[in-house]
Structure 1
Amino acid sequence: MQQLEALLREASDLAEGVIAPSAAEAEVERVMKICNACRYCEGFCAVFPAMTRRLEFAQADIHYLANLCHNCGACLHACQYAPPHEFAVNIPQAMAKVRGQTYSDFAWPSSLGTLYRNNGLTVALALAAGLALFLMMALAKNGTLFHAPLAGDFYAIFPHNLLVSMFGPVFLFVAVALGLGVAKFWRGISAGDPNAAAIAETAHDVLKLKYLDGGHGQGCPNADDASTLARRRFHHLTFYGFMLCFAATSVATIYHYVFGWAAPYALTSLPVVLGTLGGIGLLIGPAGLLWLNVRRHAQHGDAAQKPMDRGFIALLLLTSATGLALLAGRDTAAMALLLAAHLGAVMALFLTMPYGKFAHGIFRTAALLKWAIEKRAPNPVGVGSE
C-alpha cells in the first residue's frame, strides 16, 4: 500500500511538473534546517542571513543558496555539528554538489548539460593539444611552420579574417549559451526585478570577492583551521588577469576597425601592455589556485568536481603561458609554432567555457544579485524580525 501511495504521489508530481529533489538537494535541505535552528554562522556570509528568511527550503531556494555559497569553508570549521558529529553538517560540500548539478540542469542547450560531468583535466589538455597540433600540421603543410622573422606580424601566418571566422562564432555561442543558461536559472529562483542599488552592491561584492574573507576578514581556513587570504588573492589575480586580457583584445579590435590600425602593435602600445599584465595575472593566479586545489581538505567541496576545476585552471595556465611565450618570441622564426600553440589553448578554453568551471562566476553573480534584491525587501510574514 505504501509503495502504491508513493507511486501515486510521484505520478501526481510529474503531472504538475514537480521534479523530485535529488539526493544532493535533499542534503542541503536537511543541513539548512539544522543551521536555521542554530544560526551560529549567521554573520559569516550571505548564505546564512538568506537562510533565516525561510522556514522551508523549496528546490529553487536550494539552487539559490548553493550558488550564493563561495565554498570558503569557514562555517565547516566553526560548526559544532560538523563530522564526526552524528548530524554530519557540511555546508561547503553539500552546496558544492548542488552547484555542480545546477550548472548541468540549467545548461543551454540542455542536451549538452552532461558535458559538465566529462569536462576534466585530461579532456581539457587533450583538446588544447589536439587543436594546436591541427594548426601546426596545417602550417607545416603550407611550409610556414618555421619562417624568416616577420616582426610580430601574426596575420602573415593566419589572416585576420580567417581568425575572425574561427573565433567569432565560438565567442558568440559561448555568450549565448551562458546567457540563456543563467537566464533560465534567474527565472527558476524567482529573483525579481533588480534596482540600481542592488546592482551596485552586487558589482562591489563581485569585484571585491567579499565572501572569500571567511566572515571575519582573515580568509578561508585550511585543514588545520588556520585562515589565509591566499585563495581570495589568487582569485583576484585570475579574475583581473582575465579581464585585462579581454580588455587588450577589445582595444585591439577598436584599433583595427575604428582607427584602421592593424597589428602588430608596439610593446608599449595599450593592447600589448594590457595583454602582458593580464597574462602575468593569469599565470600567477591559476597556478596558485591549482596549488590550493591540490592541497585543499576533502571536506571543503565536492571531490567529483575536481577534474572540472583543474581542467579549467589548466586551460587558463596554458592560455597565459603560451600567450606570454608568443609575445617573447614574436620576432623569431618560431612565431608560427608559438602562435599555433596559443590559438589551440585559447580555442579549447572558449569551447569548454559554457560547460565548465567558468559558469560558476556567472551563476554566483546572479545569486548575489538576488540576495541584494531580497535583503532590501521585508521579511516574509512570520519569519525573522524587521
Structure 2
Amino acid sequence: MSLDLATLADRSTDAIAEARRQLEVCNACRYCEGFCSVFPAMTRQKAFADGDITHLANLCHNCRGCYYSCQYTPPHEFDLNIPAALGDARQESWERFAFPSAFGKLFHQRGVAVLAVILAVTLLAIWFMQTVQPVGGDGFYAYMSHNAMISIFIPAFLFPFAAIAVGIRRYWRETGGQSARLAHFVAAFKDAAALRNLDGGQGQGCNFEKTDRYTNTRRYAHQAAMYGFLLCFAATSVATVLHYLFDMPAPYPLFSLPKILGLTGGILLCLGTAKLAYLKTKADPALGTARVWGGEMAFILLLFFVSATGLVLYFVSGTALVEWMLPLHLAAVFTFFLLTPYSKMAHGFYRLTALVREAQMKR
C-alpha cells in the first residue's frame, strides 16, 4: 500500500483543527483544571499552535474523566469529546513521525493483517533455520545455535530503536523542545513510573472502562505490563553481560538473576496485558481512536503471547515440546520488536518525551 502524503497531511490538519476547537472551549471553561496534566498545561496559553496540540495530545493518557465531567458533551451544541479529539491528534502525530512513514501508516490501517503476516513469515523462517542448521549445545542452543539467534535478533533490536529515535527527534522539533536538563528527565521518569496521569488527577483513578465510576484498575494493569516488560528486558540484559563478560552462557539455574527477573517479569507482563485486553473490550470505542482499535488490541495480545509462550517454554524445558515452543516464542519476540516503532508500544516513548517537554515548560 502506498502512502498518500497529501491525504495524511489533510487528515492531520483536520485532527489538529478539531482538537484546537475543543481545547479552546475547555480553556474558557476550566472546570477540569484539577484533572490530568493536559488541563494545567492547556491554561498556559490562549491560542494553540500545531506543536502545542501535538504536545497536549501526547500528554493525554485517555483516562476519560474529563468526558464524564463535562457539561458540553453531546447532545450539547459544542459537541465536546476531548478523549477522542486528542486521541485522533495523537494517533496522527505517531503516523506523521514514524520512520519510514509508509510502514507506520500501513500498520495503523491494517495492524492485525501486518502483525499476522510478519509473525507467520518469521515463524516459518525460524522453523526452517532450526531444521537445516547443525546445532550443538545445552538448553535452547540444542535446537538453535547462539550465533543464529544473534543474527536474527540484533537487526530486529537495533532497527526499532533507530526508527524511534527519528520519530522522537521529529516530535521534539515540532513541539519546540529545547536542551533538556537532568531535572527534566527525573521529573518525567517519576511521573511515568507512577503513571500519575492515570490517577484522574486526584488519585481516585480514571473512567476508562466504568464510565462515570472511577477505578485504578487500568493504572494497575498498565503498571504490571510496564514493569513486567522492564524486568524481562533486564533479564535479557543481565544474561548478555553474563555470557559475554563473564563467559557464563545459558542455560541458567532457577535462582540465578536472569531466571528470577525473567519469570517475575513474564508473569507480570502476562497478567497486565490480559487485563488491558479485557478492559479494552469494556471501554467505549467512541472515546478513543476507533479506526486503530483492532491494531491496538492485536498488539496487546501479541505482548501477551510473548510473555505466555516464554513462560510455557520455561516449564517445558527438557521435553520434546521445546522444539515447537521455541520457534513460536522467538517469532513473537521478533515481531514485537520489529513493530514497536509503529504500534501502541510507541506511545511509551512519545508520552515520556511529552513529560520531559512538560517538565521543561513548567520550569
Q: Does 1:85 align with 2:72?
A: no
Q: Does 1:120 align with 2:132?
A: no
Aligned residue for 1:179, secondary structure, equals helix
Quick one: distance in 1 between partners of 2:20 and 2:109?
27
Q: Which blocks of at least 5 consecutive residues in structure 2 are unaligned?
A: 1-5
Contact 2:68 2:211 (C-alpha < 8 Å) held by counterparts: no
Q: Does 1:316 align with 2:303?
A: yes
Q: Residue 139 of structure 1: CA displacement?
A: 3.4
Cross-structure match for 2:95: 104
Quick one: distance in 1 between partners of 2:337 and 2:52?
31
Q: Does 1:244 align with 2:235?
A: no
Q: Residue 110 of structure 1: CA displacement?
A: 3.1
Quick one: distance in 2 between partners of 1:305 and 1:162?
35
CA displacement 1:46-77 (0-9 Å, x = unmatched): 11111111111111111111001010001001
Q: Which blocks of at least 5 consecutive residues in structure 1 are unaligned?
A: 1-13, 145-149, 377-386
Q: Residue 143 of structure 1: CA displacement?
A: 9.7
Cross-structure match for 2:67: 76
TM-score, scaled relative to structure 2:
0.93
Q: Residue 119 of structure 1: CA displacement?
A: 4.7
Q: Which has the higher contact order (CA 8 A, sep 6+)?
A: 1
Q: Residue 282 of structure 1: CA displacement?
A: 1.0
One-letter amino acid matched to 2:49: A
Q: Residue 123 of structure 1: CA displacement?
A: 3.2
Quick one: distance in 1 between partners of 2:226 and 2:251?
26
Matches within 5 A, 1:1-386: 22-140=13-131, 153-221=139-207, 222-376=209-363
Quick one: distance in 1 between partners of 2:244 and 2:132?
31
Quick one: distance in 1 between partners of 2:114 and 2:100?
20
- Number of aligned positions between the proteins: 355
Aligned residue for 2:251, secondary structure, equals coil
Cα distance change of structure 1 residues 257 and 191 upon mapping to structure 2, 3 Å threshold? same
Contact 1:36 1:51 (C-alpha < 8 Å) held by counterparts: yes
Quick one: distance in 1 between partners of 2:142 and 2:130?
12
Aligned residue for 1:88, secondary structure, equals coil
Q: Residue 317 of structure 1: CA displacement?
A: 0.7
Pick which of 115-124 and 62-71 moved more: 115-124
Quick one: distance in 2 between partners of 1:133 and 1:61?
45
Cα distance change of structure 1 residues 179 and 158 upon mapping to structure 2, 3 Å threshold? same
Quick one: distance in 2 between partners of 1:246 and 1:21?
34
Contact 1:241 1:278 (C-alpha < 8 Å) held by counterparts: yes
Aligned residue for 2:249, secondary structure, equals coil
Q: Residue 240 of structure 1: CA displacement?
A: 0.3
* Poorly superposed stretches of 4+, deviation over 3 Å: 18-21, 137-144
Quick one: distance in 2 between partners of 1:309 and 1:20?
20
One-letter amino acid matched to 1:220: C
Contact 1:241 1:277 (C-alpha < 8 Å) held by counterparts: yes
Contact 2:99 2:164 (C-alpha < 8 Å) held by counterparts: yes
Aligned residue for 1:75, secondary structure, equals helix
Q: Residue 300 of structure 1: CA displacement?
A: 2.3
Contact 2:12 2:89 (C-alpha < 8 Å) held by counterparts: no
One-letter amino acid matched to 2:308: A
One-letter amino acid matched to 1:83: P
Contact 2:98 2:167 (C-alpha < 8 Å) held by counterparts: yes
Contact 1:119 1:356 (C-alpha < 8 Å) held by counterparts: no
Contact 2:205 2:219 (C-alpha < 8 Å) held by counterparts: yes
Contact 1:74 1:220 (C-alpha < 8 Å) held by counterparts: yes
Pick which of 130-139 and 288-297 moved more: 130-139
One-letter amino acid matched to 1:168: I
Q: Residue 191 of structure 1: CA displacement?
A: 1.7
Q: Residue 118 of structure 1: CA displacement?
A: 3.2
Contact 1:46 1:68 (C-alpha < 8 Å) held by counterparts: yes
Contact 1:116 1:356 (C-alpha < 8 Å) held by counterparts: yes
Cα distance change of structure 1 residues 338 and 152 upon mapping to structure 2, 3 Å threshold? farther
Quick one: distance in 2 between partners of 1:196 and 1:211?
21
Pick which of 44-53 and 105-114 moved more: 105-114
Cα distance change of structure 1 residues 224 and 45 upon mapping to structure 2, 3 Å threshold? closer
Quick one: distance in 1 between partners of 2:271 and 2:120?
22
Q: Residue 122 of structure 1: CA displacement?
A: 4.0
Contact 1:326 1:335 (C-alpha < 8 Å) held by counterparts: yes
Aligned residue for 1:227, secondary structure, equals coil
Contact 1:276 1:324 (C-alpha < 8 Å) held by counterparts: yes
Quick one: distance in 2 between partners of 1:267 and 1:152?
15
Structure 1 vs Structure 2: percent identity of aligned residues? 44
Q: Residue 204 of structure 1: CA displacement?
A: 0.3
Cα distance change of structure 1 residues 152 and 140 upon mapping to structure 2, 3 Å threshold? same
Q: Residue 136 of structure 1: CA displacement?
A: 2.7
